[in-house]
Structure 1
Amino acid sequence: MTDTSDTRPTEDEARAPRRSPLLRLMRYLPMIAPVLLWAVPCGVLLYGGQHWPLPVTLAGTAVFVLGLTGMPLAMMRGHGRRQQDRAAIIGDTLLGSSWVLFTWSVLLGVLLRLGLTVAGVGESEDRARIVTWAVLAVTAVLLLWGYAEARRVPRVRRVDVQLPRLSSGLDGLRVALITDTHYGPLDRARWSARVCETVNSLEADLVCHTGDIADGTAERRRAQALPLSTVRATRARVYVTGNHEYYSEAQGWVDLMDELGWEPLRNRHLLLERGGDTLVVAGVDDVTAESSGLEGHRVDLAAALHGADTDLPVLLLAHQPKFIDRAAAAGVDLQLSGHTHGGQIWPFHHLVRLDQPALAGLTHHGTRTLLYTSRGTGFWGPPFRVFAPSEITLLVLRSPHGEG
């Protein structure tokens, strides 16, 4: 019997775009990535023609298997419901170490081996062993250096920013920017105090924190955040939420920053006056605020600028650089952001650029809007910074009408 029912796709089904193989593959990335991070170095270092003695091969393989199984387990216990700081430290350290080892296993496994072959160095076994020791040496050096870079007090980066609409009375206004402090499993209360001392040495008129204060609730990380109460500014201290606040009770962080004497700019602005001239300092919640489901939290630039004189220059705090399109459309003069960490561990910055329009530094957008993206003051997760140094930024605003 012939089936005469209509089996043609509906109009909606016909219009629905088919997912590309890449997008389908991305769904499995969380499962594939850990395997690649450990399996590739294992293959390059142990099974690339070195012909190590059997005990060496077995012991090395066991180390990689332990890393592959231990890393996700530690991260789940550290960042899941249990929130165990020791487990988080182990998992994060293994993640950063495996990323560096994977990167240089790939680079040196191909380039160094090719160079040695062209140079006619030894037999294939000799070349393979040279590659192994080179990868281990480079990885060890980068991890030690990267750990020191992550834990040190950031260097101050001074940037002069000329704003065409800035009046002469505001010329030379000093704006200190810290962001992405990421207080977390590693207790950094002393580091936090030293960062605040450095900020105070800048004698800023305005001090800004553009979010991602911590990984964890305000109650849990309170001791590390308390030094922020010592920060001094001649005009104001202002703060906006980052995406990580929305992983850990964002309102608690807003309340704590208010308690510590900072002005949370949640879709609103204040006026900063100097020398008879005025700057609008506005802030918005992070772009992830609304999807967090937290009542009253959302990004609303119109509300942030409501009632401000459109002839006045605007300085906007927005955690993620990707907000710059909306800022430029609204005629904002300068947006300050963080979020990217400058990639934190090279070459992760290539993946960051897939999501954000800027990685670090000062960039131009639209006809008059500037964006400054900080590489961040702290670090997220893995306690390493490789070719992406942290920073405390001093932005000196300049008027085209002369110095005040």
Structure 2
Amino acid sequence: MFHAYVLAASLYLIWRLVLPLPVAKMWRVAGTLIVLIIAQYHAIQIAIFGSMFSPEMPRSWIIVCGWAFCSLVLLTVTILVLDLISLGMRVLSKDPGRIMTTRNKTIAAMLVGLMSVYGVQQAIQVPPIRRVSIKVPNLPPEFEGMRIVQLSDLHISGLFDAAWTRELVAKTNALNGDLVVITGDLIDGTPEARQHDVAALGDLRASLGVITIPGNHEYYFQERRWRKVFEQLGMKVLINEHLTVDRGDAKLAIAGVTDEVAAKYNGAGPNLSKAISGVPVNVPIVLLKHRPESADDSAAAGVAVQLSGHTHGGMIWGLNQIARYANGGFISGMYRVGAMTLYVSNGTALWNGFPIRLGVPPEITELTLHTRHH
């Protein structure tokens, strides 16, 4: 369906922008072909590389192709908005002719192209630090002020490569957090393709360790093999299970579940009851779950804090409010769900096939735990 939607959008753009251009026919044909090629960028990836999630080509090519695709999408939306304004003016018996002129459409295309340059630059940066305080019911005094550094949706690939990963790890380690957690979608690509790019993850350091869970993208690329790689890099991978961290006699449970897509790839689907089985009732539970939409179930099960990602924060301000409906109403930041606190990261990176952020920055999240008194 994704390719069909993109094709429909490209045909609309050709109809409204390319064909009306006052240029020779050969240039309109060339413009039509360029739009169609950009629109089918991901289908071309599948034909060449076998996947639209992991194009194995130079980073500069991925950036240029990503910019072109993002520009096409934004330009289609822009032309659609202009058309709707024109239609509204026509309904109101006002002259819409000055809106959809060749000059205005050319200006719109140039502005969208520049906006996409900025958006791609924002998307591929090593992210800034976002500091968040979370109040946890019945948090033992020993864990007051504990700092958890959350990474999510790294999507390590030809775009977010070894150099980017090394910078990310250095910036994360500089926080000197007590615990580092990664809430899924660490990679795009096979272990063979990504072995050099992920190597720096082995340098992540925290006094209580580094814990991760699989996201949907791990399952696209043989999650069991990736699990072994992550373990070799010194990370603990939680598969519907938990562990406890201790400070003196006090305990805090860190639980992790798999992703909903696991069953399609012969993996175990998320099983919260199994993950928290055996946790004493007086021990607060921090749950790592890639997708946020089932937060109500987590709260009902007695989870104190759920850390999620997956949404990338919606990536574009305004459109993020549409994207939240596909994620149970949760898109970015902190939510109270019953007695539980849900935190949804904007993501440390994102999928290389639509590498743009406008008003929704990536993040390395430093979460500080505090006691919440009833």
- Provide structure 2 residue ranges, at least 5 long, that are not aligned to the other structure: none
User: What's 2:258 paired with?
Assistant: 285
1:386 aligns with 2:358: yes
Larger Rg: 1
**Alignment partner of 1:342 out of 313, 327, 330:** 313
Cα deviation for residue 327 of structure 1 reads 0.9
- Give matches, 1:192-271, under 5 Å: 192-271=165-244
- Provide structure 1 residue ranges, at least 5 long, that are not aligned to the other structure: 1-28
Deviations 1:178-205 (A, max 9, x none): 0111012335111101111111111111
Provide the TM-score with structure 2 as the length reference.
Answer: 0.88
Provide the TM-score with structure 1 as the length reference.
Answer: 0.82
Asked if the contact 2:83/2:100 (under 8 Å) is kept, the reply is: no
Cα distance in 2 for residues equivalent to 1:332 and 1:45? 52
Cα distance in 2 for residues equivalent to 1:180 and 1:141? 26
User: What's 2:106 paired with?
Assistant: 133
Deviations 1:318-359 (A, max 9, x none): 111023122112110000001011122455535532321200
3-state SS, counterpart of residue 353 of structure 1: helix
Cα deviation for residue 32 of structure 1 reads 3.3
Cα deviation for residue 79 of structure 1 reads 4.0
3-state SS, counterpart of residue 199 of structure 1: helix
Q: Which amino acid aligns with 2:356?
A: F
Asked if the contact 1:353/1:359 (under 8 Å) is kept, the reply is: yes
Q: Which amino acid aligns with 1:235?
A: L
Cα distance in 2 for residues equivalent to 1:161 and 1:359? 18
User: What's 1:43 paired with?
Assistant: 15
In structure 2, relative to structure 1, the CA distance for the partners of 1:93 and 1:340 (3 Å cut) is same
Q: Which amino acid aligns with 2:56?
A: D
Cα deviation for residue 30 of structure 1 reads 3.8
Cα distance in 1 for residues equivalent to 2:190 and 2:357? 24
Deviations 1:59-112 (A, max 9, x none): 433432443455522344234399752399476555433222212222244448
Asked if the contact 1:282/1:304 (under 8 Å) is kept, the reply is: yes
Alignment length (residue pairs): 368
Cα distance in 1 for residues equivalent to 2:7 and 2:177? 47
Asked if the contact 1:272/1:280 (under 8 Å) is kept, the reply is: yes
Cα distance in 1 for residues equivalent to 2:3 and 2:200? 39
Asked if the contact 1:180/1:376 (under 8 Å) is kept, the reply is: yes
Asked if the contact 2:284/2:304 (under 8 Å) is kept, the reply is: yes
User: What's 1:103 paired with?
Assistant: 77
User: What's 2:280 paired with?
Assistant: 309
Cα distance in 2 for residues equivalent to 1:65 and 1:255? 41
Cα distance in 2 for residues equivalent to 1:329 and 1:139? 45
Equivalent pairs: percent with the same residue?
Answer: 29
Cα distance in 1 for residues equivalent to 2:14 and 2:147? 51
Deviations 1:242-273 (A, max 9, x none): 11111111011111111111111112211122
In structure 2, relative to structure 1, the CA distance for the partners of 1:340 and 1:102 (3 Å cut) is same
CA RMSD of aligned residues (A): 3.0
In structure 2, relative to structure 1, the CA distance for the partners of 1:229 and 1:369 (3 Å cut) is same
